[in-house]
Structure 1
Amino acid sequence: MPRTAIVTGGGYGIGRAVAEHLLAQDCDVVITGRRAEILERTAAELGPRVTPMAFDASDPDAIQVAADSLPARVDVLVNNAGGATEYDFAMPERGRLKELREAWLRNIEANLMTAVLMTAALEPRIPHGGRIIMIGSIAARGFGAGRYGYGPAKAAIEPWATDLALELGPRGITVNVVSPGFTVSNDRALGFLASGDAAPLIESGATKRATDVADVAAMVAFLASPAAAQTTGQTIHVNGGTHLGR
């Protein structure tokens, strides 16, 4: 029987690449996100085994409504939704406490709470042998991202995922975090690359190149496979040696 996978933030970038790799593993894939038009276009391009579902994964009420239409059995859950919603140049000054709080909370909701809420809603549907995979970030290790909410939000995923792995391990469910380096995943990243601002980060790595979405998706696909049954509770770094996870 084909496995069923759910990929949040599956309309483009890393999420789309993950969906493609899971299709190659004979999975039926549901891609979710906030923008229906992007999801529908991606599903049309990837084929009939991909189902788009538009809702905000940071909104508990939206998840509850969507849950009735999501698969009753979820073999693979990939919590990919998120991204840096505020950058240094856009962050409020430290003295503007209300605005600063709101900016940090937007990052926490987009990157941490989407994963927490989706996992809580769908974990009862995950059978023995199931897989939960979180997409983290090299920003969890700093690299200039600790001054705003994105890096800390991604960092919070890691200890939570470890505890979840210990909780669900007796049920044969694995939980891991894939932590990409600088990845060319969207127009913002392409602009950062074209400007030359990404060059120091890329040159600090061993491979001397940016991470591609296919690099990340390939690691997710392995962790989603039956071959990864004894790999759990781990944060696996896919960054070309920019950060060494040891």
Structure 2
Amino acid sequence: MTRTILVTGATSGIGRAAAARFAAEPAEVFITGRHADTVERTAKELNVRGIVCDATNPVAVANLATHLSSLDVLVNAVGGLAGPPPEGASPLEAAHAEWQSHLSQNLLSAVLTTTALRDRLTHGSTVINIGSIGAERRGGSYGAAKAALAAWNASLSAELAPRDITCNVISPGYIADTNFFRGQLSDERHAALVEETHNKRPGSVDDVAETAYFLASSGARHITGQTINVNGGASTTR
């Protein structure tokens, strides 16, 4: 039976790779992004359906929900770093803007989207939230938002598990082929991030996409409420 998949923030990076992986199933895949031109182009390239949606906007998310009658897999891939502070902002105003931006992009986007679509999730559905290694290591306001995402995911899992819906976080380490660092990552920092891993390579968007695909498979039905680290050993658990 053909599954219905929604991947938010899927016009680039991890979200795009996840959408491409599910589209190869084949499945009915929907993607979202904030800009009509990139959504249209990506949807055409991946042969999926595109919907323009700012996942931090409750009105836009409510409209997104009207396009879906049922949903088998939801991948909340919206996220990123805050932009520069407003011109002339005081230190307090700058801190407020930074924290608001990180919480909105990396936590509320997933909360709003999942809340709007939870009644569309069916028996055996999967919710996957994209976190970050920054939640555990020197992540500042960005890491705090990703840590909150994992805490919320644990509660969401408990709420939805009676409907046989799994909810997990994928926590990537350094992923080289994204625009996360906006072209400002130095060669020295790249080398240091790679050196932290056990396998001495950066992660790829396909590493994360394949993990998402597994979590949405029949083999992962007893995995829920978890944070799955995909970081080459840069951060380990015990």
Tell whether the structures are fold-level matches, with TM greater than 0.5. yes
Residue from 73, 82, 97 that aligns with 1:76: 73
TM-score where L is the length of structure 1: 0.91
Shift of 1:191: 3.2
Which segments of 5 or more consecutive residues in structure 1 lack a partner in the other structure? none
Corresponding residue for residue 57 of structure 2: 59
Gap change, CA 1:17 and 1:232, over 3 Å in 2? same
Q: 1:243 Cα shift?
A: 0.4
Residue-by-residue CA offset, 1:115-152 (whole Å, 9 max, x unaligned): 0000000011001100000000001012x322xx2111
Residue 114 of structure 1: how far off its partner (Å): 0.2
1:116 and 1:226 mapped to 2: Cα distance?
25
Look up the equivalent residue of 1:182 and give its one-letter code. Y
The answer to whether structure 1 residue 120 and structure 2 residue 120 are counterparts is no
Paired residue total:
237
Q: CA deviation at 1:64?
A: 1.5
Once residues 97 and 18 of structure 2 are traced to their aligned partners in structure 1, the CA distance between those partners, rounded to angstroms, is 31
TM (norm. structure 2) is 0.93
List 4+ stretches of structure 1 deviating above 3 A.
90-95, 187-194
Distance apart, 1:185 and its partner CA: 3.5
Are residue 85 (structure 1) and residue 77 (structure 2) matched?
no
1:102 corresponds to which residue? Answer: 97
Gap change, CA 1:231 and 1:104, over 3 Å in 2:
same
SS of residue in 1 equivalent to 2:235: coil
- Contact 2:34 / 2:53 at 8 angstroms: preserved in 1? yes
Match of 1:211 among 198, 203, 222: 203
Aligned counterparts of 2:173 and 2:69: Cα–Cα separation in 1 = 34
1:112-151, aligned counterparts within 5 Å? 112-142=107-137, 144-146=138-140, 149-151=141-143
Output the amino acid matched with 1:150. Y
Unaligned runs of 5+ in 2: none
User: Structure 1 counterpart of 2:188, which letter?
Assistant: G
CA shift digits 1:61-114 (9 cap, x unpaired): 11122322x21001000000011124xxx5699962122111110110011000
8 Å CA contact retained: 1:236, 1:245: no
**Corresponding residue for residue 195 of structure 1:** 187
| SS of the residue 1:30 aligns to | strand
- Structure 1 residues 163-242: aligned runs within 5 Å: 163-189=155-181, 191-192=183-184, 195-242=187-234
Cα deviations by residue, 1:152-210 (Å, 9 ceiling, x for unpaired): 10110111101111111111000000000011233454835553212112101101111
Contact 1:33 1:54 in 2 (8 A): yes
| Identity across matched positions, percent | 44
Aligned to 1:10: 10
RMSD: 1.9
Aligned to 1:20: 20
Distance 1:66 1:190, change over 3 A: closer
Q: Contact 2:81 / 2:180 at 8 angstroms: preserved in 1?
A: no
Structure 1: distance between partners of 2:99 and 2:89: 12
